[in-house]
Structure 1
Amino acid sequence: MGLPEKVRIVEVGPRDGLQNESGPVISTDIKVELINRLADAGMQYIESASFVSPKWVPQMGDASAVMAGISRREGVVYAALTPNLKGLEGAIAAGVEEVAVFGAASESFSQKNINCSIAESLARFIPVIELAKQHDIRVRGYVSTVLGCPYEGDIDPAQVASVSRELLDMGCYEISLGDTIGVGTPTKARKMLARVANEVPVTKLAAHFHDTYGQALANLYAVMQDGISVIDTSVAGLGGCPYAKGASGNVATEDVVYMLNGLGIKTGVDLDKLVEIGNWITRQIGRNNGSKVGLALGCDQ
């Protein structure tokens, strides 16, 4: 099939990247500035908040304030995670134009993560997606643990395909396939994608790969050869999975953009600005920059 001419980057740093920070709650102002800077760098899709209970995810407790504070740019989608109806109602009130729901390909992970089975979690999304449709809000679906589970080990690609198909049939316009613990390798990633593509057109699929074992770029290159042209990334490699031991975080946006630039694939993202943002946000929250490119190019900044 060959590599795509253009890749759409889905920046998940402000949500997936910050939600599990264990230190003090990051100020709304910092989150708003991060989102505004990312839009200024050319990001056209920014996952900006999560409408969940502050009791469970304290870092996302100011979702409404974040959405009210950002300077919305024309042509930029500011999305939010809405795991249930209450979350969606909060997102609607905050003027969110696109939301995401989150399922898993592993029964054990689903139970440990959201205390219900895969089937129960999917059933919960039906009223969420129906209400979103009534408000002309597009819904994106996530499937986690597609290449491995911290509790079950390997995951059958047929199970990934089944959950992905259900989300598509419910009304999700795009399904993001998540290697939550970053254990995938290129051959494994391609086999999984081939099975899922039997059920869901590859044009409706995205790759959300973590870099725990340093395989994310190789895995992304592999699945791009099979038609993937949407990639989820997190500035400075922020984020991880609280339920996955040793999961070091999402693949860094800077690293992906650098690779795509080298391949001649268009993203519309300014790498220099991105490096500045990665160095800035990691200083703000007191953690190391997880981007190799950010560290290499950031020496001059």
Structure 2
Amino acid sequence: MSLPDGVRIREIAPRLTFQDHTVPTDVKIELVRRLIDAGVRGFELSSFVRPDLVPGLADAAEVFARVPRVPALSLGCCVGNARGLARAVDAGADTAHFLLSADEEFAHANIGRSTADSLRELERMAAYAANEDILLGTYVIFAWGGPTGPARTGEDLQPLARRLLDIGVEHWILADSSGYAAPPQIRELISAALTHIPPGNLTVQIHDGRGMGLAALLPLLELGVRAIDTSLAGSGGHPAMPGAQGGGLCTEDAVQMLELCGVDTGIDLPRLIETANWLTGEVGVAGKGFVRRTGRVPGTARPGDPLAFTW
């Protein structure tokens, strides 16, 4: 199996963690600063949504204003409607992704409207974004199924994919929000998505609610996906799913696995581990993952070294 030279890890903890745990703005800025020092250059920094629904992200504009800028930095956010998109533009976000749910029940619980109504809102937003200096994409959350519904297949994705292309939205984040997907399901749905958009337009957000998150990495690489969303210390959750396993795949575990496969992320793993342990102390939760507890594998391969195994 041939693996790519590099992968861009986008860190989503600044949004995913703090929509579930309210902390001072200074803590958020410190988290991003530490991650930048560790080599992270892609962030989902916050969400421009109603503060009464997600109070932990009410400071989104301030966070965007205060994070340090360095070369090659990309700052993204989530938006739920045209008003949120306008706020993201004013804040200087590079990218904004609409919160589109493939699950009807969750769509109503999260933003109070159907998937069809959400697509009409996205169409209005795309017309607005065409005249602004921002890239508008869309999430497809629960792309593989959930939170209570059955698993979804590549065939299930097709009508939604065609509608997105009709709207003119060609950058997608497919999120396995409930952690339903083992490698065969990853391959099937991603292969279906790639019949509509090129690999460079696709990000996959891995969640680890059922312990299969790391297993998703290699099939993504095989299929040419180079943009992967993860969350430091597996942290995070969702206000519409209290008590659920809502965190992302641990960034530090993903980086170690990619390093061992000879895939470069540009991220300093020891600094990442230190930051993950700092974050869990700041939010007061145990966090998930392995490498931050056990330490990295001694004598691990450097990016670019030959693979130590065959397929």
**Global fold match (TM > 0.5):** yes
> Is residue 292 from structure 1 mapped to residue 290 from structure 2 by the alignment?
yes
1:81 aligns with 2:47: no
Deviations 1:83-104 (A, max 9, x none): 1121122222222222111212
**Secondary structure in 2 aligned to 1:10?**
strand
Letter matched to residue 294 of structure 1: R
Is 216-225 or 50-59 further displaced after alignment?
216-225
Residues 96 and 137 in structure 2, CA contact (< 8 A), matched pair in contact too: yes
Q: Confirm whether residue 157 of structure 1 aligns to residue 157 of structure 2.
A: no
Q: Against the structure 1 CA distance between its residues 203 and 92, is the aligned structure 2 distance closer, same or farther, given a 3 Å change threshold?
A: closer
Unmatched segments (≥5 aa) in structure 1: none
* Distance in 2, Cα, partners of 1:171 & 1:2: 33
1:274–1:167 Cα change, 3 Å:
farther
Residue aligning to 1:31? 28
Task: Please tell me whether residue 209 in structure 1 is matched to residue 206 in structure 2.
Answer: yes
Distance across 2 between alignment mates of 1:17 and 1:279: 14
2:186 alignment partner AA:
A
Per the alignment, residue 10 of structure 2 pairs with 10
Between the aligned partners of 1:20 and 1:165, the Cα distance in structure 2 is 33
1:184 CA displacement: 1.4
Q: Which has the higher helix share?
A: 1
Return the offset for 1:15. 0.5
- Code of the residue aligned with 1:71 in structure 2: it is P
| Residues 1:131 and 2:128 aligned together | yes
Distance 2:39 2:266 in 1: 6
Q: CA RMSD in A?
A: 1.9
Shift of 1:76: 0.2
Partners of 1:273 and 1:30 in 2: how far apart?
A: 17
State the partner residue of 1:91. Answer: 88
In the comparison of the two structures, how many residue pairs are matched?
295
On the 8 A contact 1:168/1:175 being kept in 2, the answer is no
Map Cα deviations across residues 168-200 of structure 1 (whole Å, 9 max, x no partner).
Answer: 443445211111111211111111122222222
Output the CA distance in 1 between the equivalents of 2:276 and 2:151.
33
Q: Which moved more, 1:229-238 or 1:201-210?
A: 201-210
49-58 or 234-243, larger mean C-alpha shift: 234-243
Q: Which residue of 2 aligns with 1:256?
A: 254
Local SS of the residue matching 2:173: strand
Matched residues in 2 for 1:165 and 1:288: separation? 41
> For residue 260 of structure 2, what is the amino acid of its counterpart?
G
Contact preservation (8 Å) 2:177, 2:246: no
For residues 240 and 187 of structure 2, what CA distance do their matches in structure 1 show?
25
In 2, the alpha carbon distance for the partners of 1:174 and 1:223 equals 17
Does the Cα contact within 8 Å between 1:80 and 1:98 map onto a contact in 2?
yes
Q: Distance in 2 between matches of 1:12 and 1:227?
A: 21
TM-score by length of 1: 0.91
- Who is 1:47 aligned against? 44
* Equivalent residue, structure 1, for 2:301: none
Deviations 1:154-179 (A, max 9, x none): 22422323324433443445211111
Structure 1 runs, 4 residues or longer, greater than 6 Å off:
none
> 1:258: Cα distance to partner?
0.4
Q: CA deviation at 1:278?
A: 0.7
Contact 1:15 1:48 in 2 (8 A): yes
Where structure 2 has 5 or more consecutive residues not aligned to the other structure, the ranges are 297-311
**Distance (Å, rounded) in 1 between the aligned partners of 2:221 and 2:64:** 32
Instruction: Give the structure-2-normalised TM-score.
Output: 0.89
